[in-house]
Chains A and B, each alone.
Chain A
Amino acid sequence: MGYESVVAPRSRQGRKRPQALPEPRRPRPALARAGLVVAGAGLGAVTALAITDETLAELRAPGGAATFLGSLTGLVGMYLALLMVLLVSRIPAIERVLGQDGLLRWHRRLAPWPISLLIAHALFIIVGYAQAARAGLGHQVAVLLTRYPDVLIATIGLAIMCIIGILSIRAIRRRLRRETWWLIHLYMYLALALSFAHVLALGPSFVGHPLTQLVWSVAWAATAGLVLCYRFGLPVARTLRHRLVVHEVRQEGPGVVSVICSGRNLDKLSVTGGQFFFWRFLTRSMWWQAHPYTLSALPQPPYMRLTVKAVGDHSAAVARLRPGTRIAVEGPYGAFTKFAQQRPQALLVAAGIGVTALRSLLEDMPRNSAPVVLLRGTRPEDLVLRKEVAELVRYRRGRLHELVGTREQALLDERSLPRLVPDLHRRDIYVCGPEGFVTSIVDLAARLEIPAEAVHHEAYAL
């Protein structure tokens, strides 16, 4: 049995869907807000912990101030490192609200802080201890490394963190292959594991304070548990449960293919339109890479479809996949969904392959939602899936505008956009496509004084 993009019958509200899909889980912003409060509380608690364990007299002792600063920076630095891990642990409740791209943005923004604080921590401790023991700095470093429990491995951990930090600087990261950078980055888990022991053995807030030790250990154990569960356990379980394989590869346009996958129990997979998966095609050359591709249609059990444009090695290899290739998936992820919409109507803007997210998002919109859809492409054949999109829009009594041509010919600016969409300020805007395009539309919306909460975007970074 083949796969036909069953567009019209699916969207008819009155008829039953061919196979009823489970109701997707709603994101709950309250949970994310609660998470923010808890994260802040942890930061305040850790700072207070470092401060309350000092007495004024200890500060005045030789090396006292430096040791105190070392203790403070160490505690806050390790706590922020913990938060960094939590941000990318893909906890579903948080991911549904912030989206994988939002979480990564926060992760990148926070990153300089723990690393800087931990480097400062090492320096302060060396200076403080050297002053207290009235020794030279070089000698003190040697003493710290050789005669204090767990400091050597913690220092190795810090070195690994520094290397990862340097490699993540944009200018340097660009020169590395994505997979190389990614593999090195995974060593952060090792770096944190190595650093854990010396905190309990030497930290003044922990020595002789069993309750503090317990709370700290539980926090780290819980984080490790969450990572194991949601980053590794859940994706493996889903892969095994659904057993996706490549069913067919279809040409959609120049350089664009759709991969139709078949699997089991897809009626139990809860996906919202606009979400994506990380796809790991288990061939000899591709098994070690997982790339994000959006579903270009809601699952039609037993089939699922993704549409991919060949822009790099991996996406080009996707076009050459053979039917029967097994697939490991991680997901569904993404907050670029109908749940983000606050106003009753929407404007959907897509360029090039960005139409995939738009296409599955449209499926989730009810019959009379009258969406306005702008498809942008350089040539007519670049507007892939346009027939499906046109059908979906027509059924929802919306309007479709196909803007074909160069950037000058099909200009979207402060004059042309309101002309195309007169009720622009009453709509939520979804924009999807290459990074440059998305940025320009988001900036345009800001210039047109559309509030930022009404603009939802997903950029495909390559």
Chain B
Amino acid sequence: MKRAGWYLVAGVVAGFGGVLGLHGGGTAAPALVGQPKPGGTAAAAPSGSPSAAGPARSAGPAARQGSATGQARSATGAVVQYGYGELSVAVTVHGNQITAVSVPLLRTAEPYSQQLAQQVIPMLRSEVLAVHSAQIHGVSGATYTSEAYARSIQSALDKLHVR
């Protein structure tokens, strides 16, 4: 066939561009604030800066230096499915400040995700305790896990009416 190559190339360009365009539309609003930080420096995120990149969450307030007085209240956030598994996070607050975080439920599709989650959850916990909110950056290489973690904590905080 004459010029078969050109038809093929035209198709490749069209398909490539089409999928890129579709993806640019974006999926559900990410729960994470901006780009996940590399693992080692997870706790270094400055607490007061609302990151412009995260669309739905960027309007969040800066972390409050709330008083640690008041009764301890706990709630467990919603179970969030993240494709490779599901988890839920439990949160304890004193007044308005998060004092304890734990993961009562973690189920993964396969061992790699399990390993990953186990490595990453302690880092996420430190980040949450440092910024005193669910507005975390997450851990790179574990975007889905971090997002699910953030969402679950936010739902726990909502239950406790902590803003």
Instruction: Flag if B111 contacts A37 (CB, 8 Å).
Output: no
For B5, the closest partner residue in chain A by CB is: A36
Interface residue range, chain B: 35 or more
Stretch from B14-22, B66-74, B149-157 that touches the partner: B14-22
Given contacts A147-B110, A148-B110, A36 and B7 within 8 Å (CB-CB): yes
One of B96-104, B124-132, B140-148 contacting the partner: B140-148
Q: Decide: A58 near B115, CB < 8 A? Known: A36-B11, A44-B13, A48-B19.
A: no
- B143 contact from A44, A57, A149, Cβ within 8 A: A57
Q: Are A38 and B141 in contact (CB-based, < 8 A)?
A: no
Which residue from chain B places its CB closest to the CB of A29 in the assembled complex? B1
Give, as a whole number of angstroms, the nearest-CB distance from A319 to chain B: 39
A41-B18 contact, Cβ under 8 Å, with A52-B23, A132-B116? yes
Please indicate which of the listed interface residues A36, A58, A60, A62 has the most CB atoms of chain B within 10 Å of its own CB. A36
CB proximity to A under 8 Å, residues B1-44: 1-2, 4, 7-20, 23, 35-36, 38-39
Tell me if B46 is interfacial: C-beta within 8 Å of chain A: no
Contact B112 A40 (CB under 8 A): no
Task: Give the most central of A39, A98, A201: most B CB within 10 Å.
Answer: A39
A208 to B143, CA, bound (A): 13
A37 and B140 form a contact (CB under 8 A) = no
Do B15 and A48 touch across chains, with their CB atoms under 8 A apart? yes
CB contacts (< 8 Å) of B142 on chain A: these are: 61
CA distance A55 to B12 in the complex (A): 22
Contact status A45-B110, CB under 8 Å: no
A41 nearest CB neighbor, chain B only: B15
A33 interface contact, C-beta 8 A: yes
Bound-state Cα–Cα, A42 to B84, Å:
26
A169 close to B (CB within 8 Å) = no
- Report yes or no: A44 in contact with B17, Cβ–Cβ below 8 A: yes
B2 to A, closest residue via Cβ:
A453
Would you call A45 and B15 a contact (CB within 8 A)? yes
Which residue of chain B is the closest to A56 with respect to CB atoms? Answer: B35
User: Is there contact, CB below 8 Å, between A44 and B141?
Assistant: no
Contact A44 B83 (CB under 8 A): no
Chain B residues closer than 8 Å to A49, beta-carbon distance: 19
- Is there contact, CB below 8 Å, between A98 and B14? no
Q: Using CB atoms, name the residue of chain A closest to B115.
A: A133
Q: Is the CB of A40 within 8 A of B11?
A: yes
| B109 contacts A by Cβ under 8 Å | yes
Across-interface contacts of B18 in A (CB, < 8 A): 41, 44-45, 48
List, in ascending order, chain A residues with CB within 8 A of B38's CB: 57, 60-61
> Known interface pairs A36-B7, A58-B141, A61-B140. Does A149 touch B15 (Cβ–Cβ under 8 Å)?
no
Q: A36-B7, A57-B38, A61-B141 are in contact. Are A44 and B1 (CB under 8 A)?
A: no
Asked whether A39 and B111 contact (CB < 8 A) given A44-B16, A45-B16, A55-B35, the answer is: no
> Chain B residues near A41 (CB, 8 Å)?
11-12, 14-15, 18
Question: Is A207 at the interface (CB under 8 A from chain B)?
Answer: yes
Question: What are the residues of chain A within 8 A of B20 when measuring CB–CB?
Answer: 48, 52
| B110→A52 contact, CB < 8 A | no
Distance of A82 from chain B, by nearest CB (Å): 14
- Are the CB atoms of B7 and A44 closer together than 8 Å? no
Smallest CB-CB separation from B138: which chain A residue?
A57
B83: which of A60, A148, A207 is its contact (CB, 8 Å)?
A207
A57-B115 contact given A64-B141, A207-B83, CB 8 Å threshold = no
Inter-subunit contact A37/B14 (CB<8 Å)? yes
Question: Of all chain B residues, which has the CB nearest A453?
Answer: B2
Q: Is the beta-carbon distance between B4 and A36 smaller than 8 angstroms?
A: yes
A98-156 contacts to B (CB < 8 Å): 98, 129, 132-133, 143, 147-149
A45-B18, A58-B141 given; 10 more Cβ-contact pairs under 8 Å: A29-B1, A37-B14, A40-B11, A40-B12, A44-B11, A44-B15, A44-B17, A45-B19, A57-B140, A57-B143
8 nearest CB pairs, A to B:
A40-B11, A61-B141, A44-B15, A208-B83, A41-B15, A44-B16, A57-B140, A48-B19
Interface residues of A (CB under 8 A from B): 29, 32-33, 36-49, 52, 55-58, 60-62, 64, 97-98, 129, 132-133, 143, 147-149, 201-202, 207-208, 453
For this complex, 29 residue pairs linking A to B, each with C-beta atoms less than 8 Å apart, are: A36-B4, A37-B10, A40-B11, A40-B12, A40-B15, A41-B18, A43-B15, A44-B12, A44-B13, A45-B18, A48-B16, A48-B17, A52-B19, A52-B23, A55-B36, A55-B143, A57-B38, A57-B143, A58-B143, A61-B140, A61-B141, A132-B112, A133-B112, A147-B110, A148-B111, A149-B109, A207-B83, A208-B144, A453-B2
